[in-house]
Amino acid sequence: MNNVFKHIRHILAAVLLMFMVPAMAQDSISEMPEAAEPALAETIAEKEAPAEEGEKFDAKSFIFGHTGDSYCFHITEIKGKPVCVWLPVIVKSKEQGWCVFSSKHVCELKDGETYNNFFIEPMTSDFKPGKLVEINSAGEVVRPFDISFTKNAFGIFLVCIFLLAFFLPAAAKYKKDPMAPPTRYQGMVEWLTYMVLDGIVKPSIHGDKYKKFAPYLLTVFFFIFFSNIFGLIPFFPFSANVTGNLSITVVLALLTYFFVNVFGNKHYWKDILWPDVPIFLKAFPLMPIIELISTITKPFALMVRLFANILAGHIIIMVLMGLIFILGGMYGTGVGAGVSIISIFMSVFMTALELLVAYIQAYVFTMLSSLFIGLAQEEPKEA
């Protein structure tokens, strides 16, 4: 199911192999406890059985396997064996304590096998699909405390390192000699910075108050923008769907919520708790309740908008590519070959559109965050 980019990956496989993380010493696969057999058997039964002539194409696993998080970077397959970059798994089990091992041990398990009672739930499972789970001594499938270095975590670190490497050298040159004429590199950094500062931040936050919030707003814009761009590159060390993960957008929205409400002035809170409305509306606190709810709905809209737009674009591209295998399996290779021309053309078009969406979503998130912060900083106007 991961053969969509097979031809590209075969070409890049030789270069990408140097990035592979060596797997830890291979330990023996632990035998499943007797009490765990019924629970694990039910979970394994949900896996799709291969067809007689080959493995049946699983559209659900194909789509959500690419758009979701995972414990390794799948590069290609050589003679039926996957070529992956294995990431470290770090979990805390209630019975075993802290466990650290290579994801190779759990990603290559066959049906009915576990590694130290750990295994990854299939994407077709109803309980934590695609996540690392454990069989405890009672035979129950439970989720351990998991802080593993997954694709999304790797993508976040990659974006942060890239931003530091991109902006800090320019800042160091300005600090060393502020009066020196800027180089082309410094000019590009200036253009990108002032594009956000003058085009988004200053018009939304009036006066000199924008200086307090500019570092956060600039950081969130470039983090979202480059996360979106890196997520469209389909090979290691990129392809992590960072902003298409709800947990990431929740944190970004909470940061905006923090800056809006913690640094909001007295006038902002007066309009929420004691607005200028008729006295009977103040006696029955309907308006304050509505205003308090609005403080929550604003970051919620930021969270959902970014998550939904980025995830939808990735899903559409995966669906277009999956149509090749679905129709090819239903009507033969001839139909699949004919559909592939249309699917590849539409996928290229959607990828180009996603490049535009990558910028628009970073712009919209930063603009709305600036507007919410600016409204919380407004002073009352004199009559």
pLDDT in tens, 243-279: 999 999 999 999 999 999 999 999 899 888 887 777 7
What are the residues whose beta carbons fall under 8 Å from the beta carbon of 357, sequence distance 6 or more?
228, 309, 310, 313
Average pLDDT over residues 326-339: 85
Poorest-confidence range of 14-23, 117-126, 200-209, 317-326?
A: 14-23
Residues 6+ apart with CB under 8 A from 250: 303
Longest dimension (CA), the chain: 81
Q: Which two tokens stand for residue 377?
A: 């900083």
Whether 61 and 122 have beta carbons less than 8 Å apart is answered as yes
CA distances 185 to 90, 215, 222, 327, 352, Å, are 40, 20, 17, 49, 26
Task: Give per-residue pLDDT as tens, 155-205.
Answer: 999 999 999 999 999 999 989 888 888 899 999 999 999 999 999 999 999
Please state, rounded to an integer, the average pLDDT across all residues of the chain: 83
How far from chain centre, in Å, is Cα 168? 25
* Three-point CA angle 122, 127, 131, nearest 5°: 55
pLDDT at residue 195, rounded to an integer: 94
What is residue 123's predicted lDDT score, i.e. its pLDDT? 75
Q: Which residues 6+ apart lie within 8 Å of 91 measured at CB? A: 98, 99, 118, 132, 134, 144, 145, 146, 147, 148
Alpha-carbon span 69 to 256, nearest angstrom: 25
As a whole number, mean pLDDT of residues 132-140 equals 91
pLDDT at 327: 86
- Report pLDDT for 52: 41
Query: What integer pLDDT is reported at residue 55 of this predicted model?
Result: 59
* Torsion sign (Cα): 243, 248, 254, 260: negative
Query: What is the DSSP code (8-state) at residue 140?
Result: -
Burial group, residue 341, by CB count within 10 angstroms (0-12, 13-18, 19+): exposed
Alpha-carbon distance of 130 to 254, in angstroms, equals 26
Name the least confident of 53-67, 112-126, 327-341: 53-67
- Give the contacts of 136 (CB within 8 A, at least 6 positions apart): 36, 94, 95, 117, 142
Residue 331, pLDDT > 90, answer: no
The pLDDT of residue 358 = 95
Q: Encode burial over 17-28: b for 16+ CB neighbours within 10 A, e otherwise.
A: eeebbeeeeeee
Tell me what pLDDT residue 382 has: 62
Q: Are 32 and 135 a contacting pair, CB within 8 Å?
A: yes
Least confident of 23-32, 57-66, 103-112, 153-162: 23-32
* Single-letter amino acid code for the residue at 130: G
Percent of the chain past pLDDT 70, that is, above it, reads 85
